[in-house]
Amino acid sequence: DGGITQSPKYLFRKEGQNVTLSCEQNLNHDAMYWYRQDPGQGLRLIYYSQIVNDFQKGDIAEGYSVSREKKESFPLTVTSAQKNPTAFYLCASSRGQGGTGELFFGEGSRLTVL
Amino acid sequence: AQSVTQPDIHITVSEGASLELRCNYSYGATPYLFWYVQSPGQGLQLLLKYFSGDTLVQGIKGFEAEFKRSQSSFNLRKPSVHWSDAAEYFCAVVGSGTYKYIFGTGTRLKVLA
């Protein structure tokens, strides 16, 4: 079955460490996204990528980095510069041009900073 | 500014009762509209979407939503709620040709047996 796979599901990090969250899709979608979810704040866009080797900052990109070397993969690195990284992170994808389809979501990764 | 408002943070209904979750949006043009559902610790699942045409759209799990342009609303309804509907519900919009989907802050639904 096609879908989006995020790993790990749970991740613990010490302050000052970088961590990378994996996101892989086999839906053949061009666009991929990373969202951060905090209680009571809905979903906030971190980065998105319309096509391989291209990505744009979302609303809260500071302290995060991404790469898009393959169509299927869009990893997110949470750097030590992110002041408050404890959150639930969701990866999504969509087909076609922007705004023409719904988002398909992975199961999420919960990051906790100790 | 573009925004989505879900005025109800929490809603509690009895099993078998009807449900309406409110969603209002502010957008320059008519956006595409979505409702998603999220169970605790899980990703979001699409319930339904509106792109154009008939303003009453049917979705999965017996949900429907009505787009009202004059009120900038896209409220979600279900005639009879089941205990398994307890979850968090998100309304979202996106403009044609853009990649910035805007989400509301969600409504958490509790269902009483």
| Contact yes or no for B41/A110 (Cβ under 8 A) | yes
For position A98, what pLDDT does the model report?
63
Alpha carbons A49 and A56: distance in angstroms, whole number = 6
CA dist A57 and B33 (Å) reads 23
What is the pLDDT confidence band of residue A99, given thresholds at 50, 70 and 90?
low
CA distance B54 to chain A (A): 17
For residue B52, is pLDDT > 90? no
Residue A109: C-alpha distances to residues A22, A89, A91, B16, B50 (Å) = 9, 5, 9, 34, 29
Q: Supply the DSSP symbol for A53.
A: T
B chain contacts of residue A31, beta-carbon cutoff 8 Å: 99
Q: A40 versus B110: which is more confidently predicted?
A: B110
Distance to chain B for A90, nearest Cα, Å = 7
Which residues of chain A are within 8 Å of residue B1 when distances are taken between CB atoms? Answer: none
With a cut of 80, say whether residue B74 has pLDDT above it: yes
Pick from B32, B43, B104: CB nearest A105: B43
From residue B23, give the alpha-carbon distance in Å to each of A75, B2, B34, B64.
32, 14, 10, 13
Q: How confident is the model at residue B107 (pLDDT cuts 50, 70, 90)?
A: very high
Q: Is B59 on the interface with A (CB under 8 A)?
A: no
Please tell me the distance from the alpha carbon of residue A105 to that of residue A102, in angstroms, as a whole number: 10
* DSSP run (H or E) holding A12: strand A10-13
